Structure 1
Amino acid sequence: MICREQDGTLVMTKQHEHGLLAGEFAKWFKEEHTPAEGRRAEVLWAVSNHDRGWIDLDETPFWNDAEGLPYSFLDFPVVPKLTFYRRGIDEVEAETPYGALLCSSHFERLIEVSGEECPELTQYLEDEADRRARIHRALEQSKPLEEGELYYDARLLQFCDDLSLFLALSRPGSAESEKHPWFADGFSGSEEFSFTSGRAIEAEWQDSATLTLTPFPFTQEVEVSFKQRRVSRKDIQAKGIALAYREAPEEECRIRVISGPEEDSRVKSGAGQRTKG
């Protein structure tokens, strides 16, 4: 579960809902020559479904007494989390082995960032390394990877995942000072895309329904929607998290993503110079 607090309520977004949103962003990503043409459908499916292991877990939120919040993907107990990570990647592999390779690498990065350690985690990492080696061997026999293909697709998944997470963790229209610390310096890794010229993509709210991105990563303005629930702390205290969440109505959040004003001015300036030439 992804959760933020606002005015005495917990705004909660399911992990798979966030994953589907990431898939929407991937569809409109700017660099048309990548993902490799022959695997584009597989990559888009994997981005949309990378968090499908959380589907059953998020039907009933689990309460973290120590934090006074529902457990998130960061602090969820390690052993069950790994079980559902593995299950999700198994389901992706049944649809697309390359997608499983991509998702397995993605979760390995998340685990490394978390700094968690336990025997079960060591075993999980060994098992996933074996899975990736097996998929690599099979792909070499049938459809070898192009140079840099997996690295690029991993950056694509990371960016779309982060942008989707930004929306789930942000109050639409919030000020720069309220930005989640994960995104204070832009989206990590996005500076590696060729069109950014080494600059991390940054997000800023224009209003409560419009988000600007600079440099702009999509082929056009993108309008997305995702579902959330607002669960009051009073209801949680009175009914418990499971019932309070179940009774909270689902609401749709619609956001338009456009290019930032700085980028618009650069484009206009460039267009003017070309006309004079």
Structure 2
Amino acid sequence: MICREQDEAIVMVKQHEHGRLAGELAKWFREEQVPESLRRDEVLWSIANHDRGWIDLDETPFWNDAENVPYSFIDFPVVPKLTFYRRGLNEIEAVSSYGALLCSLHFERLIEVSGEECPELDQYQKDEAERRARIHRELEQRSVPIGEDELYYDARLLQFCDDLSLYLALNRPGSPKAEEHPWWQDGFSGSEDFKFTSGRVITAEWQDESTLLLEPFPFTHEVEAVFMLRRVSRSEIAAKGIARAYRETPEEECRIMVSGRPEEASADEQGNAEHGAGGQ
């Protein structure tokens, strides 16, 4: 579960809902970074399903009594988390071995960032290293092999779309930069590797409560990000417990327009016009 506190409520977004949004964002990524057609569907499906291991787990939230909040994907106990990571990767591999490779690499990065340590984690990492080695061997047998450059950029696409989707869930729409979640105050790590950024990190800033500005802009056009959430009242949690309070809280739709800065859009339009004139 993805959680953030707001006033007297806890805003909660299911992990798979966040993953679905990441997949939608990936569909509109700038064309020079979109995977070749032979693997495009595979990559987009894998991005949308990278957190499918959490589907059953997020049906009923768990309460973290030490922190007086629900457990989130950040602080969920590591051993059961690894169990659901593994389950999700197995389900992804049953559909796409390349997708399982991408998602396994993605989770490895998240584990390294978290700094978690335990014997079960050591075994998980060993098992996943074996999975990735096996899939690498399988990919070499494809009629059109997928090289390391393709894998690198597909992994960056997953990382960025995952980060942006998380940004939308973890930040209050319209919040000032000073209140932004600390993970992204310096921009989206890894985005400087995309060709169109020319080495710049993509940064985000709220224009208002319904519009998020990205610079440099990574999509082919403005994108409306739509996802479902629940605002679970703390008073309801105190009265009924987290499971019942969550279940009885209706879902609501959140809509955010993801756009570029006006001056950047004008420059893109001018560039497109010049390109068109040159081809006449």
> For residue 87 of structure 1, what is the aligned residue in structure 2?
87
Give the C-alpha shift of residue 270 in structure 1: 6.3
Give the partner amino acid of 1:240: G
Deviation track 1:30-81 (CA, whole Å, cap 9, x = no partner) reads 0346313210000000000000000000000001111111111121111110
SS in structure 2 of the partner of residue 185 of structure 1:
coil
SS in structure 2 of the partner of residue 225 of structure 1:
strand
> Residues 235 and 189 from structure 1, CA distance in 2 versus in 1: closer, same or farther, beyond 3 angstroms?
same
> For residue 186 of structure 1, what is the aligned residue in structure 2?
187
SS in structure 2 of the partner of residue 89 of structure 1:
helix
Larger mean Cα displacement after TM superposition, 261-270 or 70-79? 261-270
Give the C-alpha shift of residue 261 in structure 1: 3.2
> For residue 14 of structure 2, what is the aligned residue in structure 1?
14
> For residue 173 of structure 1, what is the aligned residue in structure 2?
174
Deviation track 1:122-163 (CA, whole Å, cap 9, x = no partner) reads 000000000001111011112421340111111000000000
Q: Does 1:132 align with 2:132?
A: yes
Deviation track 1:83-113 (CA, whole Å, cap 9, x = no partner) reads 0000000010011000000000000000010
Give the partner amino acid of 1:234: S
Q: Is the 8 A contact 2:12 2:230 kept in 1?
A: yes
Q: Structure 1 unaligned segments of length 5 or more: list them.
A: none
Partners of 1:186 and 1:30 lie apart in 2 by 18
SS in structure 1 of the partner of residue 141 of structure 2:
helix
> For residue 57 of structure 1, what is the aligned residue in structure 2?
57
Partners of 1:212 and 1:174 lie apart in 2 by 12
> What is the CA RMSD across the aligned residues, in angstroms?
1.9
Give the partner amino acid of 1:148: D
Partners of 2:237 and 2:218 lie apart in 1 by 40
Give the TM-score normalised by structure 2. Answer: 0.94
Q: Is the 8 A contact 1:10 1:232 kept in 2?
A: yes
Give the partner amino acid of 2:64: N
> For residue 250 of structure 2, what is the aligned residue in structure 1?
249
Report 1:64-83 matches (<5 A).
Answer: 64-83=64-83
> For residue 156 of structure 1, what is the aligned residue in structure 2?
157
SS in structure 2 of the partner of residue 12 of structure 1:
strand
Larger mean Cα displacement after TM superposition, 60-69 or 103-112? 60-69
Give the C-alpha shift of residue 263 in structure 1: 1.9
How many residues align structurally? 276
**Fraction of identical pairs, as percent:** 73
Give the C-alpha shift of residue 262 in structure 1: 4.5
Give the TM-score normalised by structure 1. Answer: 0.95
Larger mean Cα displacement after TM superposition, 223-232 or 260-269? 260-269
Give the partner amino acid of 1:38: L
